[in-house]
Structures are given as C-alpha cells and as structure tokens.
Amino acid sequence: MKTWLALLGAPSIVLGCLCVNYALVTPACHLGGHALLDGVSGTSLVVCTAATLLAWRRWRETRRSPAQMAADATARPARAVFIAAVAAGVGALSVLSVIAISIPQWLLSAC
C-alpha cells in the first residue's frame, strides 16, 4: 500500500491540483487574492510529499530485506524493490510537478 499511493495516487493528485486550480481562477479573481489557489497547491504538495516519503521508506526497507539474500527466492524481493524504487521516483516527479504548476500562480495575478 505504501508504494501504490505514490505510484498511482501522486500523479492523480497532480492532475487534480491542476484541474481544481483552473476551476478556482474565477472565484480567486473575485475574492481579490490567490489564497484558494495556494491552499490547493499546498495541500497537493503535502500529500504528494507524504506519499513519496512512504514509498522511499518502503524502498529502503525492501532493499535491506534479509529475504533477498536467499538464492531460491530472488524474483519476488527484487520485484518489490523495483516497484518501491519506481514509486519513489514517480512521487518525486509528482512533487516537482506540483511545484512547477505553482510557480506561475505565485508570479502572475489570477485576473
């Protein structure tokens, strides 16, 4: 579960952040600030970071697993290590994507 949240959930959160921010541009313009947009982006960043940290911890746990040392069962632990490493990478890319999405809203006006 730790890896799947970063592998599937983090990219979905990035897309959700983009859609919700796009939908909130008009209300943010009427309210005179972009606190709504910053709130959505901040929440997305926190959730993506948490998912990435969970996947990274899982990668470290599976990488040091003593079951990996057995010569007869190398496929399953290697698969778990690979999935955890890919999940950590996807989560890190999602964190960077949320930051890249947020930069224009910090620099430009919502109106």
- One DSSP character per residue, 17-86 reads HHHHHHHTHHHHHHHTS-HHHHHHHHHHHHHHHHHHHHHHHHHHHHHT-GGGG-SS--HHHHHHHHHHHH
Domain of residue 71 covers 2-107
**Residues of the chain falling short of pLDDT 70:** 1, 65-77
For the chain, what is the domain count? 1
- Looking at residue 100, its pLDDT comes to 95
Q: How far apart are CA 67 and CA 79, in angstroms?
A: 12
Q: What is the pLDDT of residues 68-100, one digit of tens each?
A: 455 545 556 678 888 889 999 999 999 999 999
81 alpha-carbon distance from chain centroid: 19
Q: Any idea what DSSP says for residue 5? A: I
Tell me the pTM.
Answer: 0.82
